[in-house]
Amino acid sequence: MVKSSLIELVFLLILILLLMGLLGFPLVFTLFYSFSLAP
């Protein structure tokens, strides 16, 4: 019972991290791009 809930928790954590990565990548890319363009 506890083991299955732990697996679900880890799966949710990985899913959230993947979503954050997909959403955060363009943000970091645009920030880096604007900083590289700034004098």
Q: What range does the domain containing 2 cover?
A: 1-39
Question: Which pLDDT score, from 0 to 100, does residue 17 have?
Answer: 94
> In 3D, which of 13, 32, 10, 9 has the Cα closest to residue 21?
13
**Angstrom distance (rounded) from CA 10 to CA 25:** 22
User: For residue 35, what pLDDT is reported?
Assistant: 85
Per-residue confidence (pLDDT) for residue 27, from 0 to 100: 86
Per the structure, the count of domains in the chain is 1
User: From first to last of its 39 residues, what are the pLDDT tens digits of the chain?
Assistant: 678 899 999 999 999 999 998 888 888 888 888 888 876
Instruction: State how far the Cα of 4 lies from the Cα of 29, in Å rounded to an integer.
Output: 37
Return all residues near 6 (Cβ < 8 A) that are at least 6 apart: none
